[in-house]
Amino acid sequence: MKPMSAPPLLRLRGVGKTYTLGGGPWARLLRRQVALAAVADVSLEIGKGEVLGLVGESGSGKSTLGRIVARLINASSGEIAYQGQDVTGLSGAALLPYRRKVQLVFQDTQSSLNPRKRVSRALQEALAARGVVASERAEEARALLGMVGLAPGVLARYPHELSGGQRQRVCIARGLAMRPELLVADEPVSALDVSLQGQVINLLMRLHEDLGLTMLFISHDLAVVRRICTRIAVMYAGRIVEVGPSDQLMRAPAHPYTQALIEAVPKGLAGRGHRHRFARPASVAGRMPSQGCPFQPRCPQATPVCAEVVPLSVAVTSDHYAACVLARPASPSADPDVIPAEMEEILDVPANDAAEQHARR
């Protein structure tokens, strides 16, 4: 795990996004609106060349955060700094340089391509937006397709004539047309069959290596995130509850929600009959407690203090933080390779290995 000595490429400080849900055009006057914090007080850094995974379930705010990073949505509070420069308040023409540096790939391949435009037109428009002269656009479009492993014949097709995996690769190509430095991938493979996910995942990893792309990889699939990300941040109810190096986070999660998340991932044969105990069911639709730790209603380890105060980030190690009152700094002498007792049963490494060896035969 590379220490982050260089200044971060992207830095978020106290970023929040609150939506006011109205009841029609008069609601604001009649004060009937409800404020919903999709993202609250997020502070995060992404180093150059890093692949940061952002994990969370529905309603965690991860997609919203991704769009805030790409400046598709304006944050309600906090600051975003790119290469040291504040980009939070920029708009219009001033935002264009940032647009060239940061691009986003969407989850839904059906709606992320204009159904009435052929692939060639979609790519050439993107190139035009970057300022490529008309005579060179066709050539570059072909090169972009080659970069994502698609044949030039795809240029003439419409999005509905392509498969999900091909569409996703076209979207990646379109994002690359702007020559970004930071690519935000919002659930890029969630809509794909598992036998095809590898194609897109491997493509992203190759682009990361070949182009030096920094990536923010948003997903709910912990196993995929763990494979390609060096660092993982876990979100719950709009807040970052834990962030740290992938290996460490998986082996010894310090936040009860992370533990619950790891436990909940189906383990195959090894998971048969396992009683899940790290999270209680959510009781009501989307209602988060107004005070205290958002995970507290479901947390089996909750203490009375948890309902009153939003926990601060505690440094478990120098690069591993958890926002929980129960988190404690790891003792310096602890062996980083040892798996804590409560995680052993959940991770259950030996049984999985045997099944995999059989499968590979």
> Least CB distance from residue 81 to another protein, whole Å?
19
Closer CB to another protein, 79 or 247, in the complex: 247
Q: Under the criterion CB under 8 A, does residue 349 sit at the interface with another protein?
A: yes
Q: Among 37-45, 138-146, 326-334, 348-356, which window interacts with another protein (CB under 8 A)?
A: 348-356
Contacts for 170 with CB less than 8 Å, ≥ 6 apart = 113, 119, 122, 123, 145, 148, 150, 154, 159, 162
Q: Among 41-49, 76-84, 172-180, 317-325, which window interacts with another protein (CB under 8 A)?
A: 172-180
Report how far apart, in Å, the C-alpha atoms of 267 and of each of 197, 243, 251, 274 are.
Answer: 19, 23, 15, 10
Draw the binding track, 283-322, toward another protein (x: CB under 8 A; -: no contact).
xxxx------------------------------------
- Which residues within the stretch 75-94 sit at the binding site for another protein (CB under 8 A)? none
* 8 A C-beta contact, residue 234 and residue 220: no
Q: Under the criterion CB under 8 A, does residue 142 sit at the interface with another protein?
A: no
* 8 A C-beta contact, residue 300 and residue 279: yes
Q: Under the criterion CB under 8 A, does residue 222 sit at the interface with another protein?
A: yes
The residues with which 126 forms a beta bridge, in sequence order, are: none
Round to whole Å and give the CA distance between 36 and 346: 34
Q: Among 38-46, 79-87, 148-156, 255-263, which window interacts with another protein (CB under 8 A)?
A: 255-263
* 8 A C-beta contact, residue 212 and residue 49: yes
Closer CB to another protein, 35 or 359, in the complex: 359
Among 12, 68, 104, 216, binds another protein (CB under 8 A): 104
Among 6, 30, 34, 72, binds another protein (CB under 8 A): 72
Among 13, 18, 79, 99, binds another protein (CB under 8 A): 99
Q: Under the criterion CB under 8 A, does residue 267 sit at the interface with another protein?
A: yes
Q: For helices 164-176 and 119-130, what crossing angle results, to 10°?
A: 20
Among 115, 153, 304, 332, binds another protein (CB under 8 A): 115
Q: Residue 309 is encoded by which pair of tokens? A: 């105060």
Query: Quick one: residue 243, left, alpha or beta (phi over 0 = left, psi -120 to 50 = alpha)?
Result: beta
